[in-house]
Amino acid sequence: MATELTVIVPTLNERDNVSLVVEKLHQVLAGIQWEVIFVDDDSTDGTVEALKDLARSDPRVRFIHRIGRRGLSSACLEGMAASASPYLAVMDADLQHDETLLPRMLASLRADEADLVIGSRYIEGGGVGTWNKWRQRISAFAVSLGQFVLWAELTDPMSGFFMMRREVYDRTVRSMSGMGFKILLDMVSAAGDSLRIKELPFEFGTRQHGESKLDTLVVWEFLLLVIQKLVRDFIPARFIMFIIVGSLGAVIHLLVLAIGIKGWGASFLWAQAAAAAVAMVSNYFVNNLLTYRDLRLRGSRLVLGLIGFMVICSVGAVVNVDIATSAHARGLPWWLAGLIGAAIGAVWNFAVSSTLVWRRSRKSASG
């Protein structure tokens, strides 16, 4: 019999939780034709092996093992794409979302009360559980920022617990960035004001096993997503991030140049060459850590990527100088010619390195 509801659960090192998730879903979704799709980002703690065991013993359990790419939002989108159910839910694997709310969410969608039903921590009856004051402040700031981006009345645009009609996914997926970990913000922003949204309260639970994935890099990804939504896709968020990192590289370049000339007494030529090399290397590693976090290179690919990045940026520097010189020779002010050259060089570096250095891997395995 065809499934009515698919629950998408992204995982990264959640070995001890996945069987508990399935057990709880069996309890709360009795009488409903459902399935669960775990989307794992190449866990190293045995999560994939645990999912294989579950899939072999339970026909309701499916999983996608992604290799070479990471990100909660993109994992959810990939899980949705692998389902044919008319209703799609998203919840975490850490057991902090209240699975008992799923039948109420489904009932609201069946009754045509909404297109999207969100589990909210910030309406009456909801709560953030045992969070400390610092995390509560960070969450409150993120919620305010999300509401500003959406121009919406949602109390919890940062929620990672929701259910929707498949049509919502079909209508928004091509306009979503798939970046970061806040897929709800991405989706509602992509949908504009066309969604009927309902919020239901829930109390955020306590993680039972494993470690939280919330870190400074996750916060950075959230800020990057906010930037993407503010510019409304006119400028890719990765490009903005690439330019920010490049600006940091310019500061490093000048610092190394000053040390070379003033501190070591090197000639301008050698100091400039050393500064350019150091700036390129620093830009590469910072971009690998932040701009392309979901496509991060490791091992031998990290070394090969560095070589490719430096070659690409060297060509970009030649393009920059050539265009700027030509523009200045045609009468443009030196500062405008320099900006044009720098802009075209930056676009070259971003476009070519995104294509050749940080290529998106398509490897995955399903079960």
Assign residue 188 the CATH number of its domain: 3.90.550.10
Of 238, 308, 310, 244, nearest in space to 279 by CA: 310
The angle formed by the CA atoms of residues 110, 116 and 121, to the nearest 5 degrees, is 115
What pLDDT shows up at residue 362?
45
Residue 366 forms part of a structural domain: no
| Exposure letters 118-152 (e unless 16+ CB within 10 A, then b) | bbbbbbeebeeeeeeeeeeeebeebbebbbebbeb
Residues 38 and 173 in one domain: yes
Choose one of 218, 233, 248: the last residue of a domain: 233
Q: How far apart are CA 277 and CA 288, in angstroms?
A: 17
Residues 151 and 259 in one domain: no
Residue 367 forms part of a structural domain: no
The angle formed by the CA atoms of residues 224, 307 and 272, to the nearest 5 degrees, is 85
Residue 167 forms part of a structural domain: yes
Residues 174 and 242 in one domain: no
Choose one of 207, 233, 259: the last residue of a domain: 233
Residue 177 forms part of a structural domain: yes
Q: How far apart are CA 173 and CA 66, in angstroms?
A: 19
Residues 344 and 213 in one domain: no
Contacts of 64 (CB under 8 A, 6+ apart): 37, 38, 39, 40, 75, 78, 79, 82, 364, 365, 366, 367
Q: How far apart are CA 108 and CA 182, in angstroms?
A: 23
Residue 183 forms part of a structural domain: yes
The angle formed by the CA atoms of residues 263, 265 and 267, to the nearest 5 degrees, is 130
The angle formed by the CA atoms of residues 344, 219 and 357, to the nearest 5 degrees, is 40
Q: How far apart are CA 149 and CA 332, in angstroms?
A: 38
Contacts of 361 (CB under 8 A, 6+ apart): 67, 68, 69, 295
Q: How far apart are CA 339 and CA 334, in angstroms?
A: 9
Residues 138 and 227 in one domain: yes
Q: Is the separation of the CB atoms in 174 and 160 below 8 Å?
A: no
Residues 176 and 276 in one domain: no
Residues 87 and 151 in one domain: yes
Q: Which domain holds residue 249?
A: 237-356
For the sheet with 162-165, list strands across it: 197-201, 116-120, 162-165, 87-90, 5-11, 34-40, 61-66, 364-366
What pLDDT shows up at residue 165?
96
- DSSP code string of 214-249: --HHHHHHHHHHHHHHHTTTSS-HHHHHHHHHHHHH
Residues 184 and 246 in one domain: no
Choose one of 233, 250, 281: the last residue of a domain: 233
Quote the tokens at residue 196: 């009927």
Residue 363 forms part of a structural domain: no
Q: How far apart are CA 36 and CA 89, in angstroms?
A: 9
What pLDDT shows up at residue 139?
67
Using DSSP's 3-state secondary structure scheme, residue 5 falls into: strand
Q: What is the pLDDT along the chain (367 residues), one digit of tens a residue?
A: 689 999 999 998 999 999 999 999 999 999 999 999 999 998 999 999 999 999 999 999 999 999 877 778 889 999 999 999 999 999 999 888 899 999 999 999 999 999 999 999 888 887 776 666 776 676 666 666 666 666 667 888 778 899 999 999 999 888 776 665 678 877 887 787 778 999 999 888 765 655 554 545 666 666 766 776 666 666 777 788 888 888 888 888 788 888 887 888 877 778 777 888 888 899 999 999 888 877 788 888 899 999 999 999 889 888 877 887 888 788 888 778 777 877 888 888 888 998 899 876 444 556 6
Number of domains in the chain: 2
Residues 244 and 221 in one domain: no
Residue 364 forms part of a structural domain: no
Using DSSP's 3-state secondary structure scheme, residue 350 falls into: helix
Residue 84 forms part of a structural domain: yes
Quote the tokens at residue 340: 């044009």
Across the strands, what pairs with 199?
Answer: 118
Residues 213 and 184 in one domain: yes
Residues 228 and 256 in one domain: no
Sign of CA dihedral 117, 119, 120, 125: positive
Residues 140 and 224 in one domain: yes
